[in-house]
Amino acid sequence: MLKASIIAKKQGAVVEVPDPIAKENWAVVKILAAPMCTEYKAYLAGQVNAFLGHEAMGEVVDVAQACRVAPGDRVVVMPSYACGRCDLCIGGEYIHCEDSLDFNAFTNNGEGRATMAQLMLKPDWLLRKVPKDVPDDYAALACCGLGPTFGAIQRMAVSGYDTLLITGLGPVGLGGVVNGVYRGARVIAVDAHPWRRQRARELGADAVLEPGGNCLEALRDLGKDRGVDKAIDCSGNPQAHRLCIDAVRRGGDVAFVGECSDETSICISRDMIRKGIRLIGSWHYNMADFSRLMATICAVPEQLERLISHRFPLEKVSEAWDLQATGECAKIILKPWEKARV
């Protein structure tokens, strides 16, 4: 099979490697849509990597035994190789599993854990079936396109009563605009990048703002009750973390979805006790909510076509990474089996 690889700084390649082999309840999936996430940061930094990607939709093509999936099933590939046995896994919070399976020890040739590839290998319980009327690329948005903010929105019970702030309008934040608008919330979006603010507007954000300046005052004014009701940070930027905490009204909720290694300072008394706010860390969604997320996907096809700004065949992966570096894109879908047009 073919797969994407980073071989040097700003140099991607497509390499041929052995096909993964089905074993026990691990099925081989032919990847039909591989959404691109943060891999471009490694491409820009020159971090050599031959196992790229964690988001995929595809078709089961081989199983080693009777299991939860069969050849021909169209599936969303859930991230991670969680154990499937601990309380977190059984409760649907598999993303937080502390006993991940040892992929290399289990597999015959070590291949099959990357999604920017033509084939991959996954335990059957991490493959969720896609309803037949849902197009491949839209189903693939049940990974990081819509998933992280869907999880946060479920935890915060966002509804039509809420003004929802979203900071950071990369693909995850733009997915948050789609989720928030679908729930009926009034969405206010903040990002420094004009292309992304414009796309948030097209996705139904009620107001879009640039960070800095009088952004905080503007947000407090836009919120009906001295602040917004709920906020989701998708930027991973400590200044945006602060903006969310400061812009949310007393008794509101803030979810942190975007990751970073920098520290954000919080004053427990001023920020939390006196304000009575709830801070949530949210990485992904509970597996039991998969059908609700799929129902969202079925309901908003025009929004999803805007959320997917570009599609590239696998062999043009470097072009796709270069585009991601400009910020002038939303979600990009890599198509491992499509040939580039000449």
Site residues for Zn ion per CB under 5 A: 37, 55, 82-83, 86, 89, 97, 99, 144
* Shorter beta-carbon distance to Zn ion: residue 122 or 249: 122
CB 112 within 8 A of CB 121: yes
Smallest separation (angstroms) from Zn ion to the CB of 77: 12
Question: Is the CB of 99 or the CB of 221 nearer to Zn ion?
Answer: 99
Residue 1 or 89 with smaller CB distance to Zn ion: 89
Q: How far is the CB of 35 from Zn ion (least distance, A)?
A: 7
Output the smallest distance, CB 279 to Zn ion, in A: 23
Q: How many CB atoms lie within 10 A of CB 89?
A: 21
Cβ of residue 88: shortest distance to Zn ion, in angstroms? 5
Nearer to Zn ion, 22 or 89 (CB): 89
What is d(CA 223, CA 297) in angstroms, rounded to the nearest whole number? 28
Least distance from Zn ion to the Cβ atom of residue 275, Å: 32
SS3 319: helix
Decide: 249 and 228 in contact? Cβ < 8 Å.
yes
Q: Smallest gap, in angstroms, from Cβ of residue 270 to Zn ion?
A: 34
Nearer to Zn ion, 41 or 226 (CB): 41
In the bound state with Zn ion, the residue whose beta carbon lies nearer, of 79 and 227, is 79
d(CA 334, CA 114): 13
Angle between helices 194-202 and 171-182 (to 10 degrees): 20
- CB of residue 337 vs Zn ion: minimum separation in angstroms? 21
Rounded to whole angstroms, the Cα distance separating 139 from 242 reads: 34
Cβ(285)–Cβ(148) under 8 Å?
Answer: yes
Biggest alpha carbon–alpha carbon distance for the chain:
62
206 dihedral zone (left: phi>0; alpha: psi -120 to 50; beta): alpha
Nearer of residues 37 and 231 to Zn ion, judged by Cβ:
37
Give the count of beta carbons closer than 10 Å to the beta carbon of residue 67. 17
| Beta-carbon count within 10 A of 282 CB | 19
